Structure 1
C-alpha cells in the first residue's frame, strides 16, 4: 500500500504584504513545521515546545539561544495574527513549555476571508507537499516556491502558467528591494526550484526595447531534466556567465553573457545588441559576432539573425507609426493603458 503524500495548507494571505496577516520568514517556517507535527488523533492539534521546534527548523543562525528566541517570538506572533490559537499552563513561555496549538480548518475566515494588498487579492490556501519543501534550502526559496505555485494555477490546466509575476510583485511579497528580488529569483531558477519563462520583447513608441513580464512555474526534478534544452536558465554565477556580466548596466534579458557553448543567440538578443546603451554589452557582443563570423557558416548565421532582428524592429516601428498616423483612437488608448497596468515593466527596466 503506497503512502499518501503529506502536505501543509499555507494560507495565501500570508503574502498580503500590506496587512497584519503577512508572515515574515521565521513565522512562515514555524507555521509550516507546527502543521507538520499535528496529532494523529486530532489533525488540528499540535503539542510541541520550542526545544522540539528548534531541532526541526533550520535557520541560517548557529547561535542556539538566539534561534530559540526567534522561534518563541514567531509562535507568539502567529497566535496574535490569528494563524492558530495558542494556550499553555505557564504564564511565560520557556523553551521546555508545552505548547497547545489549535489550528484552523480551511473553511474558517483565515482561509476564506479575502484581503487585498496593492493590486492583488489573497484568499484560500496553497498545498505544499513534503517533496516540495525538501527542495528548498532558505526561507526566501520557500516563499518563492509557495508563491510560484499560488500564481501558476497548476490545478487548472487551462490557466496554468498564464499569470506573469513582475519583479515589483516579487519585491512586494518578499519584502525586499528590487535588486534583491532579482537576485533571489535568479538563484531559485539556478537551483531548479522554479522555471522561468522569459517575456517577449517589444519596442515602445520611443523606440526603446522592453520585455513583457516573466512567467514562472514549478516542475519536478524529472521534468527539469527533460526540459532543460527549452528553458533559458539565468543566474549571476561565474560558472554560467562571463565576467562582463557583472559590469553591464543593461537590464533587458538576453544571452550575450551566457558562457555555455551550446547556447544559441536569438533575434531578440540581436535586438538588444542594436538598441542597448551599455558599452560593456555592445563591445562584448561585437567581439562574439566577429569570432563567430570567422567561418562562412558562422557569418551566414550572424547575418541571418541580424536581418531577423531588423525585420522585427521595422515591423514594430511601422505598426506603431500606422497606429498613430491620425492619432490613436480612444479604444486603442484604453487597451494600451490596460496592458501597461497588467504587463508593462518599463518603469522597472529604465
Structure 2
C-alpha cells in the first residue's frame, strides 16, 4: 500500500459509520474515500486518476487484474451513489480516466442508526480526522482503517459507554467471531477486558471491554527517523502511561497532562493515588506550576482539592475504625449454645422401611 510521506490528515464524515442508514460505507468504500482525500490536488477537492492506480496504491493487486479493477470500480460507484463524490468518466469506469470531486458537504450530514439490541438510536454527525501516521499504521490489513477511524470518533466524542462487540459487528458488517478476530489483530489497539461482576440476581456478568490506541508501532513515514516524529505532545505522553484509570479516561488524562485543562476532583484523586511514576511526575509538575502561578485562584484550587482529599481520607479511616470496633465486639461475645440437644438420627434409619 502507498504510504503517506507528509504529515497530513483527512476527514471522515461520521455518517460513513451509520449502520442501517443510506450513508454507511463498506470497508472498500471507506478505504477508497480515505485514499482519494490524500490524493486530491492541494487546495481543491479534485482528483484525476484511474482504477489501476487506485488498485496498486491500495495494495489490492492480485493475479486477476480484471477482478481487482471491478473491486475498485464498485467502491467508486458506491461512493458516488451515496453522495461522497462526483464521478466523471467516458465509457467504462474500470477502463478509462476518472475525474473525481469530493463532496465536502457530507461532513454536515446527520443520520440515525437503529438496532434491535439498543433502545435509543445511534446518532451520527460531524467528522473524524485521520492522520497520515494513523492511515499508514492501519496499512493494507482488511478492516483496520475502519477500526482506526471508528475508534478515533468514539474515543474523542463525549460518549458515556464503551464500544461493545455488537456495535463493532454493525460497523464492520461482519459476524461476531470474525469481528473479534479483526479487533484482536489490530496492533494499534490494546484491549482492556471489562471487570466481572454479579447482578442483583447473583448472575455473573462482564463489563464492556475497552480499547486503548497506541501509536508506538513504526509507521514508516519516509523511513521515520524517530517513531514519535508526527505525534502530538499528548500522544507521546499517553504512550508512557501505565495507569489504566488514566489511560481509559480522557478527562482525567487531560487534567494531568494538558496545561489548558483545569484540575478537578477526579483528576486530582487519580494523580494522588496512581502508582505510575510518569503520571505522578506530570501531575506534580502541573501542581507546582499552579502553586507558583500569578493567576488568581490557581493556588486556591490546589489547596481546596488537597483539603478535600485529606478530609475524605480521614472519613475513610474513621469508617474503617468503626468497622474494626464492631467486628471486635462481635468476636468478643461467647457463642451462645442452646441446652436443647437435637436427637441424633442415624443414616440407616432412612432405609429401614425400604
The within-5 A match list for 1:1-350 is 5-40=7-42, 42-59=43-60, 61-88=62-89, 90-95=90-95, 97-105=96-104, 108=105, 110-118=106-114, 119-136=121-138, 137-153=140-156, 159=158, 163-188=161-186, 191=187, 193-221=188-216, 226-227=240-241
Equivalenced residues, count: 215
Q: Deviations over 1:222-254 (max 9, x none)?
A: 7686457969xxxxxxxxxxxxxxxxxxxxxxx
CA distance in 2, matches of 1:211, 1:163: 14
Q: Aligned partners of 2:130, 2:17: CA distance in 1, in Å?
A: 15
CA change 1:101–1:60 in 2 (3 A) is closer
- For 2:92 and 2:212, the matched residues in 1 are separated by 44
Structure 1: where are the runs of 5+ without partners? Answer: 232-350
What CA RMSD, in Å, does the superposition of the two structures yield over aligned residues?
2.5
Deviations 1:98-141 (A, max 9, x none): 21111122xx2x12121011221111111111110111241311
SS at 1:151 equivalent = helix
Structure index of larger Rg: 2
Q: Is the 8 A contact 2:13 2:107 kept in 1?
A: yes
Q: Structure 2 length normalisation: TM-score?
A: 0.56
- The list of structure 1 runs, each at least 4 consecutive aligned residues, that deviate by more than 4 angstroms after superposition, is 222-225, 227-231
Alpha-carbon separation, structure 2, partners of 1:162 and 1:216: 14
CA distance in 2, matches of 1:210, 1:60: 45
- For residues 54-83 of structure 1, the C-alpha deviation after alignment (integer angstroms, 9 at most, x for no partner) is 221123844322111110111111111100
Whether contact under 8 Å (1:50, 1:71) holds in the other structure is yes
**Counterpart of 1:135 in 2: which secondary structure?**
helix
Structure 2: 5+ residue stretches without partners: 115-120, 217-227, 229-235, 246-354
Q: CA deviation at 1:186?
A: 1.7
CA contact (8 A) 2:13 2:128 kept: yes
Q: Secondary structure at the match of 1:143?
A: helix
TM value normalised by structure 1: 0.56
What is aligned with 1:305? none
